[in-house]
Structure 1
Amino acid sequence: MKTLYAVIIMTLLLTACAMSFDTFNRALPKLKDKNINVAIDYLGIPDHEYVVAGKKVYVWTTSERNPFPTAVTTTTTGNAGNQPFNATSTSYIPDPGPLSCTIKMQTEQDIVRRIEYEGNNGTCFKYSDRLKPLITQ
């Protein structure tokens, strides 16, 4: 029964992850050619802004540590007395690698001209959830 619950939870997590980038692909293009304030209304206040080649770039970013452990399998061989043996064990160790999500919007005179994003689906959920209302419009 525990295995069934684990499978259901992983399925839901993976579905949520897939939905993050699907939402981005459908919602972010709707912000192109709009005033940057429309994007700010949906995504919140940007974390950074800078100028590249005379064009302002707004950046939203979030990061967290990977909460899922990594399986490590060890095989041991040897002798017990005069009998050879093989043993295999699996341990689960924390994998605190970073997960992140970044959205960049380049503007000309406050109008969004270019949008880029990168990151991990799960971490991007913070922003994809905020963008969902754009899809239903």
Structure 2
Amino acid sequence: MKGQPISVAIAKLGYPDSEMSIAGKKVYTWNNQDSGSYTVPTYNTATTYVNGQPIYSSVQGSRTTSYDYQCKFKVIASPGDIIENFEWNGDIGGCEAFAMRLQKKG
């Protein structure tokens, strides 16, 4: 993306969440956040002794797991809106959507 107009990033990512000027440069920021939870099944085997004899049983249950994915993608552009640099800050769950959109041709 370096050397291309900011319009290329906007065409692929949509309008940025914020735009600001710092030291004569423009900084465009896109944010992505996704959180939630999901339930997964669990299986355990239990052994119970009755009159000294083992009785084996399988116990099925569930466990809830939560996630919180985040990403901040910044593009630094010249006063003429030419991309000079960019940076990522986040995890794969949050940044993957940006990476996929940037890899698309067109």
Equivalent position of 1:121 in the other structure:
92
More helix by share: 1
Match of 1:108 among 69, 78, 82: 78
- Tell me the TM-score normalised to structure 1 length: 0.53
- Tell me the TM-score normalised to structure 2 length: 0.66
Equivalent position of 1:41 in the other structure:
11
CA shift for structure 1 position 93: 4.8
Moved over 6 A (4+): none
Tell me the distance in 2 between the aligned counterparts of 1:53 and 1:69: 48
Report if aligned partners of 1:66, 1:99 keep a CA contact under 8 Å in 2.
Answer: no
- 1:49-95 Cα deviation digits (max 9, x unpaired): 1122221100111101153569xxxxxxxxxxxxxxxxxxxx86544
CA shift for structure 1 position 125: 2.6
Letter in 1 for 2:96: F
RMSD over equivalenced CA pairs, Å: 3.4
The 5 A counterparts of 1:1-137 are 31-68=1-38, 93-109=63-79, 110-131=81-102, 132-133=104-105
